[in-house]
Amino acid sequence: MNKLWLIAGGPALVYAGLAIIMGVLPGIALSQTPPGIGVKPLTPIEAEGRAIYAANGCGYCHTQQVRPLAQDKVFGRPSAPGDFAYQTPELLGSERTGPDLTDIGTRQPSAVWQYMHLYNPRSVAPQSIMPSFSWMFDVVDKAPVGTMTVPVPAAYAPAEGVVIPSHQAQALLAYLMSLKQPPLAQAVANEAATPAAPAATAPSPTASSSTTPAKSAAAYDPAKGKSLFTDKCAICHQAGGTGLPGAFPPLKGNAVVNDANPSAHIHTVLHGAEGLTIGGVKYEGAMPEFASTLTDAEIAAIIDYERSSWGNHSPTITAAQVAAERAKGK
């Protein structure tokens, strides 16, 4: 072959065609995807936080895409096309060194926890390998009125002064709190039809059978309870049930957990709590509700684990008791 214009021009032309078909045209078509119901544009401070998220490469370890796979259920409902209407630049990511953040505003709504975790992730999650973002915080003698003091545990706190979030940290928090999946239309419909059922998931093209059917109430499985507790609760209340002083209450020796009447315990796990004073300490953080994400059996397993661990000895409960409490409503 000895014609340069053919050798250079031919493949270039073929490639130009393919680049348009596979790059530009799908881009044009999908850029017009309308926002889903309840998907809102970001407020200015949320947008600022999103820029901080990208600038510091959060997207290299945290995805923002929930796949319709069983293992992704913990992160929320499967992502829908309409979820990404206001997501430019896209932050779907390619690695999950840390957990997915699509729905983190729902899964961990506590500002206290988020600030502690950003200041030093190991202060709330000892095994975390996430970098510390302490440079987004200021150390001052006394927090200005109206500014939250971050209750950093002594091991991680500066020698003197108190830690307060800088504007950067506040913007980042605002963005993280904005990451809440609005329910899909279909899920809303399902919920309306069967109010007691946990949020239904969207159609799954690779429906997996790995979800275990709800266990009978009598069979309390400590391994299952521990696993669920580690996944859902330990991030605040810690693996040893000790909580974190001033930030998250202990469950070890906790009056509600050790109450022979489990009603308050079940109610807290189902519906969350906020602004409680426990053992004379006032806790600012909010505990999320689990009624919409966990089944009665799963909640019973968690509660039974809490009631029989770390020296706690109170009667265990059954899924039926959770169902009864759930039926009572908030």
Restricting to residues 85-104, name those near other proteins by CB under 8 A.
Answer: 85-99
**Out of 42, 45, 69, 323, the residue judged to bind other proteins by CB under 8 A:** 69
The helix (H) or strand (E) run that includes residue 14 is helix 4-19
User: Quick check: 175 binds other proteins (CB under 8 A)?
Assistant: no
**Residue 142 Cβ vs other proteins, minimum distance, rounded to whole Å:** 25
**Out of 26, 158, 161, 315, the residue judged to bind other proteins by CB under 8 A:** 26
β 281-282/286-287 pair status: unpaired
User: Quick check: 231 binds other proteins (CB under 8 A)?
Assistant: yes
Q: Which is nearer to other proteins, 128 or 186 (CB)?
A: 128
User: Quick check: 121 binds other proteins (CB under 8 A)?
Assistant: yes
Considering CB under 8 A, how many residues would be counted as binding other proteins?
A: 79
Stretch that binds other proteins, among 67-75, 214-222, 259-267, 277-285 (CB under 8 A): 67-75
**Out of 131, 161, 240, 315, the residue judged to bind other proteins by CB under 8 A:** 131
DSSP 161: S
Q: How many CB atoms lie within 10 A of CB 222?
A: 12
Q: Which is nearer to other proteins, 233 or 303 (CB)?
A: 233
- Distance between CA atoms of residues 34 and 37, nearest Å: 9
Q: How many CB atoms lie within 10 A of CB 126?
A: 10
Stretch that binds other proteins, among 132-140, 157-165, 269-277, 279-287 (CB under 8 A): 132-140
User: Quick check: 203 binds other proteins (CB under 8 A)?
Assistant: no
User: Quick check: 37 binds other proteins (CB under 8 A)?
Assistant: no
Question: b/e per residue, 292-317, with b = 16+ CB within 10 A?
Answer: ebbbbbbbbbbbbbbbbbbebebebb
User: Quick check: 127 binds other proteins (CB under 8 A)?
Assistant: yes
The helix (H) or strand (E) run that includes residue 163 is strand 162-165
Residue 165 CB-density burial (10 A; 0-12 exposed, 13-18 middle, 19+ buried): buried
Q: Which is nearer to other proteins, 127 or 194 (CB)?
A: 127
What interhelical angle do 263-271 and 319-328 show, nearest 10?
Answer: 70
